[in-house]
Amino acid sequence: MALDTQSEESDAALLAGFARGEQSAARALTARHLPRIFAHAYRLLQDKAEAEDVAQDAMLKLWKVAPNWREGEAKISTWLYRVTANAATDRLRKRRTVGLEAAPEQEDTAPSVEAGLIANDRQTALRAAMDALPERQRHALVLRHFEELSNPEIASALETSVEAVESLLGRARRALADKLSHLRPAAQRVKQRKGART
């Protein structure tokens, strides 16, 4: 969920406090932001260890820029989302160059009951469909629907305009709907096809 203005103001005050050597300020900022950026990294990477590394690296970068932080230039939460998304993207690109035999074996977490298998198939299909999206569309979708950021906050995190975010989200949603259409019940698919013809 997006942080409110009051939280952002206290974020800037806490970061300034950290820059002056106040360790309590670092603890407060870490408690507030580390779970959010870890969750964001995990949604992008689907790997807990890598997500932890990315989240910790993002916080380290924040500590490094703290003495030079200019209040009002960027929201700390948005800056952290941007740093996290960039680091996750770099890791995803590196993964694509790793051979199949070097990839870690996936843990089998599928439940044994039929309903669990169906839910797992849907999750797998959704993950595959999201992975197939262009990176900027996927990042915009994750920030909007999982992190619950507003379009202006997403625009700031992706360093683009609100109109571009709306376009990215629209294209991403249409692509997902198309890729996941096979999961809808057959009667619903027929009904939608008839509606499209009229």
On whether both 44 and 128 belong to a single domain, the answer is: no
pLDDT in tens, 21-49: 888 988 999 999 999 999 999 988 889 99
Overall pTM surpassing 0.85 (yes/no)? no
- Contacts of residue 132, defined as CB under 8 A and 6 or more positions apart, other chains included, come to 175, 179
138 and 49 within one domain: no
Residues 88 and 66 in one domain: yes
User: How far is CA 106 from each of CA 45, 47, 48, 100, rounded to the nearest angstrom?
Assistant: 13, 10, 12, 12
Q: End of a domain among 76, 98, 120?
A: 98
196 and 117 share one domain: yes
Residues 130-152: tens digit of each pLDDT: 888 888 888 888 888 888 888 88
Q: Which of 75, 98, 121 is the last residue of a domain?
A: 98
Q: 133 in a domain, yes or no? A: yes
Picking from 98, 124, 139, the residue at the C-terminal end of a domain is: 98
Confirm whether 2 is domain-assigned. yes
Q: Which domain holds residue 23?
A: 1-98
Q: Look up residue 170 and give its amino acid.
A: G
Predicted confidence (pLDDT) per residue in 87-122, tens digit:
988 888 887 765 545 555 555 554 545 555 556 667
130, part of any domain: yes
What's the one-letter identity of residue 127? R
The CATH number for 53's domain is 1.10.1740.10
197 in the same domain as 165 = yes
